[in-house]
Each structure stands twice: as C-alpha cells, then as structure tokens.
Structure 1
Amino acid sequence: MQVTETLNEGLKRGYTITVTAAELDAKVDEKLSEAQPEIEMKGFRKGKVPMPLLKRQFGKRLLGEAMQEAVDGAMNKHFEDSGDRPAMRPDVTMTNEDWSEGDDVVVALNYEALPQIELPDLSGITLEKLVVKADDVAVDEALENLAKSAQSFEDKDGAAEDGDQLTLDFVGKIDGEPFEGGAAEDFALVLGSGQFIPGFEEQLVGASAGEEKAVTVSFPDDYGAEHLAGKEAVFDCTIKAVKAPAEAKIDDELATRFGVEDLDTLKGQIRERLEAEYAQAARAVMKRGLLDQLDETVTFDLPPSLVEAEAKQIAHQLWHDENKDTDPNDHSHGEIEPTEEHVKLAERRVKLGLLLAEIGSKAEIEVSDQEMTQAVIQQARQYPGQERQFFEFIQQNPQMQQQLRAPIFEDKVVDHVVEQVSVTEKEIDKDALQKAVEALDED
C-alpha cells in the first residue's frame, strides 16, 4: 500500500492511495481463513472446504469488503501518522474507474485539515464582571406582577366589562350543526385575554348573568384545524356568572398561596431569583467581552469549507427570521447567497469555535452524562405529555445530542478560561445592565 501526497496548500491536502492487487488478494484470503471453520458445503465436512473452492464461491463477494477495509485502514493510518484532523468529511474517489479484478486500486483522498492552533497567553486578558443587587423597588414590582398572576375574581352585579371573568356554557355550530371541540360547560373566560378567536370575547362585553347570547365569528384562514379554517361559526352562549377582578393584596396570605410561610420569606426568594437573573445576564456580557478579546488576540488559518457552511447556515437562519411564517427546516426557497457580513460573522464563529474546542481539549474538559441528562430533561419540559417520545428521539439522533452537548461544553470552557484571566467586579444598577445586554444584540 502506498500513500503519495498530491496537494499541500494552506489547509488543503491531497493524497493518492494505492492498494495493490496482491494486498487485496491477501485480504480476501484472510477473510476466508477466518470464516472457513464455520462453512459447510455439500460433499465436505464443516470447516474442511478447500480454500480454492471457497475463493471461487465467495471471493468476488468479499473483494468489495476487502477494498473498503483496505482504503479505510490506509486513511486511518494516514491521519494517525500525519496528525491531520479533517475539517469536514474527506472526499474519497476511486480514480481508475475501469478497474477490474486483478488490478491495483487507486483512490484520491482530498480534505481540508483543521489548523494547528497555538493557545494564547490568557494572563493578558482582563474582564469586567457586572454585579447588580436587587433593590426594594425591583422586589416590589416583581411582587405586584406575582399578585396579578394569582388574580382572583368576585361575583358582581351588572354587565360584564373588559377584564371581568365569565362562567359560561357554549355550543359552536357551523351551518347549524355542532362541530367537534366547539362546546364546553362552566368555562371560565377572562374578557380581553385573547383565549378565543378574534371577535368572540368582544361580543360578550355587556353580557349579564343568566343571559343567553349568540356570538357569530369567522375562524382565521390559517386556523390550525383545517376543517374550521375560514368558516363562519355561531356560538350559543349561556352566561352563568360574571365576576370582577378582586383587589390584589400583597400580604402573608399571598405568600402562603405560593408555598412559603410569610411575606418576608417570599420577598427573600424573589430577591434571590432576581439577582440570579441579573447574574446570568451579566455573565452573557462578560462572555461576549472574553470572546471579543480572544477574537482579536488569536490568528490562524480557517478551513474555507467550514466558513462557507457556517455562512450559508447564517444566511438561511436570518432569511427565516425575516420570513417568520416559513418553516425553518424548509429549504425549498432556493439558494440564499451569503453576504459579506454573513461571511465575516461565520469567520468569527468558526475561529472561536475551533479555539474553544482546542482549549477544552487541552484542559480535558468533557460533558458528563449527568449534564447531558439534565439538558435533555430541560428540553423535554417544552413538550408536556410527550417527554418519553422526546427522550427516545434524542437517544436515536446523534446530531441532536451534539446540539445539546455543544453549548454545555462551550460554557464549561468559558468558565475554565475565566478562571485563568484577571476579573474585576463593577457594581451597577439593573437599567445599566439592561443597556449592556441590549448592546449585545446591536453588535
């Protein structure tokens, strides 16, 4: 077997791999020898079939396997000896297309190698860690929102107003016939909440307890249920009760409704939650500062194929962000040509991705099974009632596993780097933190 270099420009590599006919023949013989003890054939005892007969019977079938294994073995040895790591799947092409049994096999191997990355001196990096304390105003504001979320209602006399809660029975009909899912009893509806399709709640403003009212609405053309989309429906409603919002009281009773013993304890929990949110936002700001400095400090060649793929992905994602009615997984819109801005952003992402991967590799940073399980559980919560199916989907999908693992790995590497650099704390208020976070989106 012979490996000959044909291209070495920047990160581009090209090689010719030649596997001789004799090597292939020996590989086939090896496979037959391994299988011979288990082979039975008419006229011969098990394991006693002559090798020439086995070769005539099975040789051609095994030749393809031998070729593949020989080429794969040569490639693996090449990468082991050279230390090259391909940026993307190597291009492997058989060059002697007129090959026939008894000929050598000649394969062209082409790929882009990942660059050799010299890690920067982290001691020269300085970061600013923003610290925000939750003041009483922020705690009181959060308490008020919490009280509103626990809104209660009290019976009232007279007509319903926007914000009131109705208890009603209703039956929806299309062309005079009830339709599936269009009826309910003792349904609690807050007017103005937008629970129902447009036009429904507005027609119930002014209704009183005991009143019967026919509400006529049209389902939107893009309604989720196709058999209802665009159709006019009449809902026969019976108003059973009208209730007005009760005054939201912030007291110990409110605290007990949220599972704590008194108001002071609830305030303490809110303060801790707010400061945890501030810390998370501040970490995002500090992380951006770190990545900016690493981007400016480190320089190395980037694999063009990785940059091109990332730029296309960015262009595709931004196109769907601008066309929100489209499916992000739909690629039928045709080729979206990346702009210079997309390419520039792709270069930054590829550079930082490769750099953080190298830092993580040198520091032997890994994502544990427990961390992956926690990530899967967190994602599964977005699919209530379908958690088991989501777990099974992740287990069977290596690409999704990588999508979950990548941000965990990146955060662990960032934490590792932060431990190596100089960090100073700066106390600010929440408004200043909000501006710093908003600035991240503007860059």
Structure 2
Amino acid sequence: MSVNIENLGQLERKITLTFAKADYEKIRAARLQKLARTVKMAGFRPGKVPMKMVEAQYGLQVDFESQFDHASNLFSKVAQEQQLKIAGQPRLEPKGDLTADPVVYDAMFEVFPEVKIGDLAAAEITKYTTEVNDDEINKTLEILRKQRVHYHPRGEAGPHGDGGGSLVAATGDQVTVDFIGKLDGVEFEGGKAENFAFVLGEGRMLPEFEAAALGLKAGESKTFPLAFPADYHGKDVAGKTAEFTIVMKKVEWPHLPEVNDDFAKSLGVAEGVDKMREEIKKNLSREVARRTQTLLKSQVMESLTKLCELDLPKSLVAQEQERLVAQARQDLQARGIPNAKDAPIPPDLFTPQAEQRVKLGLILNELVKTQDLAAKPEQIKAEIEEQAASYEDPKEVTRWYYSDPKRLADVEGLVLENNVVTYVTGLAKITEKAVSFEELSKM
C-alpha cells in the first residue's frame, strides 16, 4: 500500500489509497459465503444456491462493499499514523473499475483548524448584581397569592365577605356570560358561546368585549359593536365589525389568601411565615445567580467569537445544520404539526446559527485544552447539589442525575462553560452594574 496526502485548501485534504485486491480477498470470500447461506433463487432451496451463481449475481456488489470497508480501515490507520486531526467524516470515492488491480481510492476530508485566541484583556464585560430584599420577597408572595385566587358570587355573604356589597362586574372579577356575534345580521362560526368564563382585566378578550362586560350585573345584557383587528387569527372576521350581544350569567369577586401560617403550610412550609420568607429569599437568590451567570456567559461567548480567529470545517457546519433541522422537526412534532418529521426544512436556514455554534465549540475546546479548564468531578458534584437544593428531595434529584450518563454529560458541559467564563472574566475589563430583580428578569 502506498499513501499520498494532498493539500486541497486551508482545511481540505486528500489521501490517495492504493492496495491490491488480494488484501481484501478473505473479507470478500467471507461475505459471499455468508450471502450464499441466505440468498434465494428459483429452483434452489435457501443455502443450496451454487457459489458460481451467487458470484455471478452479487460479485460486483460484494466487491464494492469489501473494497470500501478495506479503504475505510486503511484510512483510519493512515490518519492515526500521520496523527491527522480529522473533522467530520471522510468522503471515500473509488478511482477506476471495480475489477482493477491494484484498487485506488481517494479519501477527501477536513482537518481541525488552528484556533488563534485573541487578546482576552480587550474584552469588555458587564457584571450585573441584584440584591434580594423584602420588596422582592413581598412581590413574590403577591404572585403566589394570585396563583391561589378563588372566586365568590358578588353580593352573597360568605366566610370571606360579600365582595364589598357591589353587584356589578369590576376589573379582576371572574364573569360567566352567554354571547352571540353577528356579521350583517348573520351568525358566524366561533361567534357564539354559553357559560363562557373569563377574568376581566387579564386581556384574554378583545378590549371592546371586556368594556361591555364591565359594570353589568348578573341577569343584565348589552348589545355593542366589536371591530376585529386586521391581523385577527380568525380570517373570516379579521378587519370586520360585528354586533355582539352578551348576557351576564354570573359575577364573582376574587379572594386572595392572607399571608399567614396556613398560607405557608399550603406552600409546603410547615414552620410558618418566617421560614416561608426565608425559603423564598433562597429561591430568588438562586434565580438571581442563574440569570446573572447566564448574562455573563452570553457576553463571554460573544467576546470569544469576536476576538478569536479560525477557519470553519464545512463538514462540521453541515453536521450542525442537520442537527438543527432535526431539532426543528421535533419542535414541530411537539406542537402537533401533521407530517412534521418529513417537513421540507432547508438546512441553509440554519447556516449562521450552525457556523456560530461550530466556531464557539472549537474555541471552547482550545481553551479547555490549553488552560486546563475541563470539568472536575468535585465541580460536577457541586453543580448537581446546587440544582437539587431547590427540590423537596435533593438526594433523589442527585441520584437522578448520576443514573444517566447523558444527564451527567449535560452538567459537565455546563461546568466546563462556567470554567471558561471564570477564566475569561479574570482577564477581561469588568464593569459592575446593580439592577433590580425586575430589570434582571427582563434582560
């Protein structure tokens, strides 16, 4: 066997593999013998077809398969001997006739690029800080109260009162209505309902509909015009004005639970209000740490892609495009889109995203290798314990992570990225900026 390596471009290479037919003859003979045991031909029982007939019908196919496999093995051996860093899968192509001796194959492939790490001290990064104070805890409690809201009929006395004595529908009330809509005096599809419930002020209904319901008492009705927006999802009524009549069936006012020990118990905190506030603060602090780290990581990754130079292997970009296409099809399937698995999604749609991911992945690999930033077992353990701490049974969550190599690999990747963030921020120009929890949530 002789080997010739050609440089076809910045990353493209070609190896010409030349070998004698005798080199794979044993493989070929074994394939034919295996095939002969199962091949079916008219007039012969399975396994009794003469080898000459098997050879005549399948010889060229077996020749190609045997040659290709032998060429693949040779390529792997040459790549290892030459210490080639292969990016993606090689493309093997035969040169000449299948019956030629010696056999010649061209193997086209790409090598990994040289990654030039730029001056990381030139990176400018903002580090956000957020204080979790009593105001943030109170806002969270208010959200928790609203999540546990229940409704009582207006005007009816009960353990929580009568809603202030008023019988008319107000913002925040849950109302139940019958309604019917007509276009030019004719009912339209989707324009009629009975015992339809919604909460005033949540924006679930069009503004004119909510405005008509406000101020009505149970038993009262109102007829009003309603102009559908031009971009309304119902194409038959989009941009048109309908006449609606609503009949108020029920008006219920909202009751929010008080923040007391019973409320704490309903949240699974048996120790009472003080412990509940303490747990909320811990959870908010974890959320702050997660969000600020995400913002920091995003800036670090953006800086790395700007400051580092490298050529992108086309094969890796193509693989990433295909992965993103598969992911898009899975998302469509999850949404119930018919025939989503066969959706014609052009890979070119994902070219910028694929190039960005491949570039960043190669940069991270280089930093991890040269700066010893690989995730250590104790770091992985600490990250899992941190994530598990917010659950009711942290030990069970920890076991869940360690029971699946893929889950463990996901955590390892997260720790690795955090190590890179720590390394880069240690060199970059850092500006600290304090923001509120609300501001942080919107970033």
TM bracket (short chain): 0.5 to 0.7
Matches of 1:118 and 1:334, distance apart in 2: 27
Displacement, 1:276? 0.8
Q: CA deviation at 1:42?
A: 8.1
Contact kept? 1:360, 1:413, Cα under 8 Å? no
Asked if the contact 1:115/1:303 (under 8 Å) is kept, the reply is yes
Q: Does 1:279 align with 2:283?
A: no
| Residue equivalent to 2:209 | 200
One-letter code aligned to 1:145: I
Which piece of structure 1 moves more, 3-12 or 222-231?
A: 222-231
Residues 163-221 of structure 1: CA distance to partner in whole angstroms, max 9, x if unpaired? 43323233556664474694242x33222211124532222223222112345545555
Runs of 5+ in structure 2 lacking a partner?
A: 118-124, 155-164, 326-336, 338-342, 388-404
Read off the aligned partner of 1:5 and give its amino acid letter: I
Residues 41-440 of structure 1: pairs in structure 2 closer than 5 A: 51-96=51-96, 99=97, 101-102=99-100, 104-115=102-113, 134-153=132-151, 155=154, 156-171=165-180, 176-177=186-187, 179=189, 182-185=192-195, 187-214=196-223, 216-217=225-226, 220=229, 222-224=231-233, 235-246=244-255, 249-261=258-270, 262-284=272-294, 287=297, 301-305=310-314, 349-355=360-366, 358=369, 408-415=411-418, 431=435
1:103-130 deviation digits (Å, cap 9, x = unpaired): 65433322221247899xxxxxxx9998
Farther off after superposition, 80-89 or 169-178: 169-178
- 3-state SS of paired residue (1:30): helix
- Taking the aligned partners of 2:45 and 2:359, their CA distance within structure 1 comes to 67
**Which amino acid in the other structure matches residue 55 of structure 1?**
E
Where does the alignment leave 5 or more consecutive residues of structure 1 unmatched?
120-126, 317-326, 376-400
Q: Which amino acid in the other structure matches residue 145 of structure 2?
A: A
Which residue type is aligned with residue 213 of structure 1? K
Number of matched pairs: 382
Counterpart residue type for residue 143 of structure 2: N
Instruction: Name the CA shift for 1:215/1:259 in 2 (closer, same or farther; >3 Å).
Output: farther
CA contact (8 A) 2:60 2:98 kept: no
Q: Percent identity?
A: 25
Q: State the shift of 1:19 in Å.
A: 4.5
Partners of 2:227 and 2:257 lie apart in 1 by 36
The two structures have a TM-score, normalised by structure 2, of 0.62
Structure 2 Cα separation of the partners of residues 432 and 210 of structure 1: 47
Cα distance per residue 1:290-334 (max 9 Å; x no partner): 76897899x785435379779999xx9xxxxxxxxxx9x997798
CA offset at residue 350 of structure 1? 4.4
TM-score of the pair, normalised by structure 1? 0.62
Q: C-alpha distance in 2, partners of 1:199/1:282?
A: 41
Kept in 1: contact 2:312–2:355 (CA 8 A): no
Shift of 1:430: 5.7
What CA RMSD, in Å, does the superposition of the two structures yield over aligned residues?
5.6
- In structure 2, the CA distance between the partners of 1:305 and 1:199, relative to structure 1 (3 Å rule), is same
Q: Sort the Cα spacing of 1:336 and 1:288 in 2 relative to 1 into closer, same or farther, 3 A.
A: closer
Supply the AA of the counterpart residue of 1:265: K
**SS of corresponding position for 1:200:** helix
Contact 1:91–1:110 (Cα < 8 Å) also in 2? yes
Cα 1:420/1:132, change in 2 over 3 Å: same
**Distance change in 2, residues 1:30/1:114 (3 Å):** same
Return closer, same or farther for 1:48/1:362 CA change in 2, 3 Å cut-off: farther
Counterparts in 2 of 1:144 and 1:337: CA distance versus 1, 3 Å: closer
CA distance in 1, matches of 2:55, 2:319: 49
- 1:30: which partner in 2? 30
Tell me by how many angstroms 1:277 deviates. 0.9
Alpha-carbon distance in 2 for matches of 1:31, 1:176? 75
Conserved in 1, the CA contact under 8 Å of 2:300 and 2:424? no
In 2, Cα distance between equivalents of 1:333 and 1:9: 24
Q: Which amino acid aligns with 1:56?
A: A
How far did 1:28 drift?
2.9
The 1-side partners of 2:248 and 2:260 are apart by: 33
Counterparts of 1:184 and 1:72 in 2: how far apart (Å)?
A: 70
Q: Provide the rounded CA distance (Å) in 2 between the counterparts of 1:109 and 1:90.
A: 6
- Indicate how the Cα distance of structure 1 residues 198 and 436 shifts in structure 2: closer, same or farther if over 3 A, else same: closer
Distance 2:109 2:285 in 1: 49
Q: What CA distance in whole angstroms lies between the structure 1 residues aligned with 2:251 and 2:65?
A: 78
